[in-house]
Structure 1
Amino acid sequence: MEKLMDVTSAPWFVVLPDQDLSPDLLDRLRNLSGPDALQVVRHPSGRPWLAGRWSDDRMTVCVLGEVRLAVAGICSLNAAELAARAGRIRATADIEAALSGAHGSFHVSASVAGRSYVRGSFTGKRRVYRAQVDGVTVCADRAHVLARLTGAEVDTAQLALRLAGVTVPHPLADSASWRGVGAVPPAEAVELEPGGGARTLRWWQAPAAELPLREAAAGLREALRRAVALRVGPGDVVAADLSGGMDSTSLCFLAAEAGARLVTATLHWSAPTNEDRVYATLAAQRLPHVERLVFAPGDVPACFAGLDERLDPGDGPSLVRRDRLIQRHLAEEMRSRGTRLRLSGHGGDHVVQPPAAYVHGLLRRSPAAGLRHAAGLRARSRQPLGATAKALLDRRSYASWLAHAAGRLREPAPLMDFGWGVRPQLPPWASDRAVESCREQLRAAARDAVPLHRERGRHAWIAGVQQAGLGDVHFSHDAALAGLPQHTPFCDDAVVEAALAARPHEAASPWSYKPLLAAAMDGLVPEPILRRTTKDHCMPEWQEGVRLQRRTLAAWADDSRLVAAGVADEAELRRALLSPGLLSGAVSELETTLVAEGWLRDVEHQETLSRSRDLNDSGDLDHSREMNDAPTAR
């Protein structure tokens, strides 16, 4: 029997247009806020503009004359500085210029001259969704809030796409998991007009990739230093991952440089070839003021522990599920040592090193250099010469690439590709209906697809960054519920911009690992760590965790929600769930499927809880907190 846990709602906010709304809309928003008071900030007209539930230390609201400006998240601007910036705004077109130079990771919302403006971060870490509510467009930072507000159902077409895991391409990767709820592309903002209309505006452009390695590394180091210093200061007791990898280790040394006292967590996975422990120990020996926590596999819950527990479904299926209880255990241990936040290197893999597709453009700009890099990458992947040459000579547009991928969803993707991205692939148990649905979506996207950049290497790099940002939404959400907020400086916009400014063939190399980050951390992080070329895994623990879940997997095989939704083939899925050890080449696909199955059960459970709460509701909905009483409020 599955364990039923209370589902805790996360902080959220909605942005409303400056017009008369349905009389019961605020009542429905108050219902969504649960036992907490609904917070409301009003337009100059007196109509509601921002509503939701958030902590005061994560939302800075400025009310200055006829302008309302709010920043939610981590931002270098304090309340007084934000008020000064708000004084420069006369129209929504002034907002981004007024915020120029601000760094961190945050949402921006504004009410100016009767228009509402909202955007997230271009990394996708701070996201914005939109939906029609009672005939008007409403935006929110959480898709699930809009789904609850509109009574939307799960979009099974999007669920079918999620079986392809991280290979879902742009723009489908940004899609929401609910019918009628749309995801705003990370580089775009939404402007809500008084008459009920809405339009999207592009607020971010990728920087030119022209800086030589030394100059780009200096910019990346400064951006990372500011990102860390924005979160920690002298004497702060800070939790930090110390995996032995370059990303988390770099953040530890930057936090120590900022004067923090560190409590670090290192997991010693059991693979005989694992080298993480060696590099983590080396780093810890060089770090000042560090308390090191080391965990063997037997010290923490198994992978997939708690698979049968129902959770807050969040905005969609999340890979957090695999090691959720492991991370909860680490967070509890670090929090007991007095830490107030946790630094994580999540996102570093995607941010500081472009994917292999950079070679495609390099070959055309500098044939000799392009051939050298292609030969090096081919040697590492052991791909046949013919396949490598074919990939290099391919000149398909992004639209053509999407259409081509639509016809090959059942085929394995090549080991290395210089295309627009990793070709999407569905697992063997995806139903024929799911495959056809994904094909239709890919073909529809191909009809008017616009890549994230005209050059495929840059497109693939930006898409990877946004994939990391989306993953961080789920990780940060779960960490907040665990009571130790997780911060990922690599996903800050300014850090990503600094990395993207590097020449791609210098930021990546077949002969070294993460050369851009290594150059940026030169002189701060011990040299042996910067020279490391290996990356370890926890596959033995993954396999053991799946084995320990055989009872739950058998129960899910008997009553699969994916099968009921028409997304999975019953016989094929049963075979995979009952004999996961026999899978060949579909390990990541199985995890993605378990995540989707569990998420559907979470949604079902939350709907049951919501109906129960509605029946028991006393009807007292008049609990809200207004925030228009001061020029600036935090």
Structure 2
Amino acid sequence: MGETPSWFVTLPDCPCPPLLLRRLRQYARYGVAHPSGRPWLLGSWPADRMGLAWGDTARLAVAGTCAIGPAGLADRLRHVRGLADVETAVRDVPGSFHVAAAVDGCTYVRGSLSGERRVYWTTVDGFTVCADRARTLAWLTRARLDTAQLAARLVTPYLPYPLAGGAMWRGIHGLPPGQALRVEPDGACHTSTWWRPPDSELPLPEAASGLRTALREAVAVRVRPGEVLGADLSGGMDSTSLCFLAAEAGAKLVTATFHWGAPGNEDPLYARHASGRLPHLARLVLPPQSVPALFSGLRERHDAPDEPSAALRDRLQQRYIAGSMRAYGAVRRLTGHGGDHLVRPPDAYVHTLLRRAPLEGLRHAAALRAHRRWPLGATVRMLLDSRPYAAHLAGAAAMLRDGVGRGPVPEGWGPWPCLPPWASDEAFGMVEELLGAASGEPLAADRGRHAWLQQAQQAGRIAALITHETTAAGLPAHSPFCDDAVISACLAASPRETGGPWVYKPLLAAAMEGIVPERVLRRTTKDHCGQEWQLGMRLHRRELAAWAEESHLVAAGVVDAEPLRRALLSPGLLGGGAADLEFTLGAEEWLRDLAARPAPACLSRETPVPRTEPEGVPVEPTAR
């Protein structure tokens, strides 16, 4: 049985619309008031996921996984004289958390750098309300679904910045990661930047030392000595590194390793080698026949997250693993998600390297071209391209119908967005309009750094969806690679030493030297579940055909029925289009879940708790 998700909203220090306040009070278990006595923070959360500190003129809250407790937070609050001091108060604190503050009538709120923890906001009668969940605001304000955002969620491999941060409902705004929202006492709001990428490009030994420290702290904050943790042990470098760091911090581990059926699968070999060097370990080795097939459970309906997810592919498998880990006493699970996105720069770094060190840049470009099989003409055009980010977005809109990003082509400021062959003309038009209207300000002036940050934010989005799924399954997952400090440590590394095709993940290998077995750090292969994917599609062809016949995406006008039906019934003809189909199925399932369960689980009417007025401290729930 999964646990109820936590949630919170922040309110400005001005009169709240009565209807909105009544709806919030109906569901919130706890509340904290502004120094003025007006409601500031309302919601429901476990005590260990919300740190609170309050003084005569200020309030400070951290929601999530944080290395400091209430006493440490109270000590830091004493140095806060205004909102400008808030980030100083939480600087260098390991973990993944939201930050909220109320000082002298002003409110401040932001999420995490990766976007694993998001902030959304909307206005009701001129009143600005912020939340950690878009669905909370959509439900409270009865917002309508934004069809353009639905069409955009069909894009592969992912939407370019800032479109990826858009909310799925009209009138609900997503705050971009790295930005904070400030609300004045009169209700006026504006954003500010609380984080900027590091300027330095550290040599590999120095960067590896910083990553080792950041990862060690990120894991340690999630470990209590002697506690049982579940952990993925794929045999790859990312998950194996977390296992050894967790053991170092004193955790007892129960690990899961899939044994996929592809010939030459090496995951179990590397996982077995690593497990022999891990103390206090219980191992789950899972051949395909021991777990539910991929795409099982299509008839089940779930609590929808803030946006579509491709989790339907292996949801029942992950639920099975979570149950097995809980049977061994695991209280949470560590996942290596984010490592692939963060520990090596995307190929766009070569564009900047060519301008700083032409000969070295050409050597890297030639090696990448050979490794990625880029066409010569496309490679030359990428290297010579000097268009600003706004022109890149305009070009992406103009080329959307050409499917430029489907072949092995080099990236510009990031991957070229593509829509699947079954997307409707209306979907193409809406995504083109979104791209044309998007802000032309990049995440960093350097396109390699911009692409790296964009990749980190994609990792955070997926981590948030993983957390939603695993919390519902009763064993919340944590992704330490998506912590702010880990991201900063990776981005501080020199791309010329951590990129290129010659060595696999040199930054992480150097960081884990002496901690993870050398054989794992030298691994260059990566296994896949292609056979199991095709088998799952065949086994569930009847359910998929039913989805095609009564598609909610078709009803919304973003997908054409016949091409979708052909793709679902003959997935073997897709070639490299598996991601297209998974994104589409994720969006279809999301619409079906919303229709079946319109109220978010975190605002369930089944467990309302009467409350008293917030008085500046957490309000304990009263008896019913």
* TM-score greater than 0.5 by the shorter chain: yes
Q: What amino acid does structure 2 have at the position aligned with 1:604?
A: A
Distance 2:521 2:24 in 1: 50
SS at match of 1:165: coil
CA distance in 2, matches of 1:573, 1:105: 39
Alpha-carbon shift at residue 201 of structure 1 (Å): 1.1
Q: 1:592 to 1:609 in 2, by over 3 A?
A: closer
**What letter is aligned with 2:425?**
D
User: Aligned partners of 2:364, 2:262: CA distance in 1, in Å?
Assistant: 31
Match of 2:154 among 163, 167, 170: 163
Q: Is the 8 A contact 1:8 1:312 kept in 2?
A: no
Q: Which runs of 4+ in 1 moved over 6 A?
A: 630-633
Computed over aligned residues only, the root mean square deviation of the Cα atoms, in angstroms, reads 2.1
> Within 1, Cα distance between the matches of 2:324 and 2:516?
26
Q: Could you tell me which residue of structure 2 aligns to residue 454 of structure 1?
A: 445
In 2, the alpha carbon distance for the partners of 1:591 and 1:364 equals: 38
Match status 1:203 vs 2:194: yes
Match of 2:23 in 1: 28
Contact 1:63–1:632 (Cα < 8 Å) also in 2: no
2:428 maps to which of 435, 439, 453 = 435
Which ranges of structure 1 fall in alignment gaps of 5 or more residues? Answer: 1-5
Contact 1:39–1:627 (8 Å) recurs in 2:
no
Number of residues of Structure 1 aligned to a counterpart in Structure 2 = 618
CA distance in 1, matches of 2:543, 2:321: 25
TM-score (norm 2): 0.96
Percent identical residues: 57
Distance 2:24 2:617 in 1: 21
Contact 2:105 2:185 in 1 (8 A): yes
Q: Deviation at 1:393?
A: 1.5
Distance in 1, Cα, partners of 2:80 & 2:599: 46
The residue number in structure 1 matching 2:616 is 628
**Pair 522,625 (structure 1): closer, same or farther in 2 beyond 3 Å:** farther
Q: Does 1:422 align with 2:415?
A: yes
> In 2, distance between residues paired with 1:589 and 1:185?
25
- Quote the offset at 1:627 in angstroms: 6.7
Matches within 5 A, 1:352-363: 352-363=343-354
Inter-partner Cα distance in structure 2 for 1:579 and 1:515: 40
Q: 1:366 to 1:79 in 2, by over 3 A?
A: same
Distance 2:611 2:371 in 1: 61
Distance 1:334 1:607 in 2: 31
Q: CA deviation at 1:630?
A: 7.6
TM-aligned CA deviation for residue 275 of structure 1? 1.2
Amino acid aligned to 1:249: T
- Residue 435 of structure 1 deviates from its aligned partner by 0.2
Give the partner amino acid of 1:559: E
Please say if 1:175 is aligned against 2:166. yes
Distance across 2 between alignment mates of 1:241 and 1:45? 47
- Shift in alpha-carbon separation, 1:329–1:625, aligned structure 2, 3 A: farther
Q: Residue 196 of structure 1 aligns to a residue in which SS?
A: coil
Q: What is the aligned partner in structure 2 of residue 333 from structure 1?
A: 324
Question: 1:63-82 to 2 correspondence within 5 Å?
Answer: 63-82=54-73
Alignment-derived partner of residue 511 in structure 1: 502
Shift of 1:416: 3.7
Q: Any conservation in 1 of the 2:309–2:465 contact (CA below 8 Å)? A: yes
Q: Quick one: distance in 1 between partners of 2:596 and 2:561?
A: 22
Q: Which residue of 2 aligns with 1:192?
A: 183
Greater displacement, 57-66 / 377-386: 377-386
| CA-to-aligned-CA distance 1:248-277 (integer Å, 9 cap, x gap) | 000111111112221111011111122111
Match in the other structure for 2:30:
39
SS of corresponding position for 1:166: coil
Give the secondary-structure state (helix, strand or coil) at the position aligned to 1:259.
coil
Match of residue 61, structure 1, among 25, 47, 52: 52
Q: What does residue range 164-313 of structure 1 map to in structure 2 within 5 Å?
A: 164-313=155-304
1:614-625 equivalences in 2 (<5 Å):
622-623=610-611
Q: Which amino acid aligns with 1:381?
A: R
Q: What is the deviation of 1:480?
A: 1.2
* 3-state SS in 1 of match to 2:169: coil
Task: Answer whether contact 1:7 1:312 (CA < 8 A) is retained.
Answer: no
Residue aligned with 2:99, SS: strand
Secondary structure, counterpart of 2:598 in structure 1: helix
Which of 473, 482, 492 aligns to 2:473? It is 482
Partner residue, 1:122: 113
- Quote the Cα distance in structure 2 between the aligned partners of 1:482 and 1:627: 35
User: Retained in 2: the 8 A contact 1:63–1:630?
Assistant: no
Please tell me whether the aligned partners of residues 557 and 578 of structure 1 are also in contact (alpha carbons under 8 angstroms): no
Closer, same or farther in 2 for the Cα pair 1:257/1:151, shift >3 Å?
same
Q: TM-score, normalised by structure 1?
A: 0.94
Contact 1:29 1:38 in 2 (8 A): no
Give runs of aligned pairs for residues 427-576 of structure 1, distance below 5 A: 427-445=420-438, 448-576=439-567
Q: Deviations over 1:91-111 (max 9, x none)?
A: 111111122221211101111
Look up the match of 1:104.
95
SS in 1 for 2:400: coil
Which residue in 2 is equivalent to 1:93? 84
The residue matched to 2:546 in structure 1 has which SS?
Answer: helix
Matched-pair contact (CA < 8 Å) for 1:16–1:49? yes
- Structure 2 residue matching 1:607: 3-state secondary structure: coil
Match of 1:61, SS state, is strand
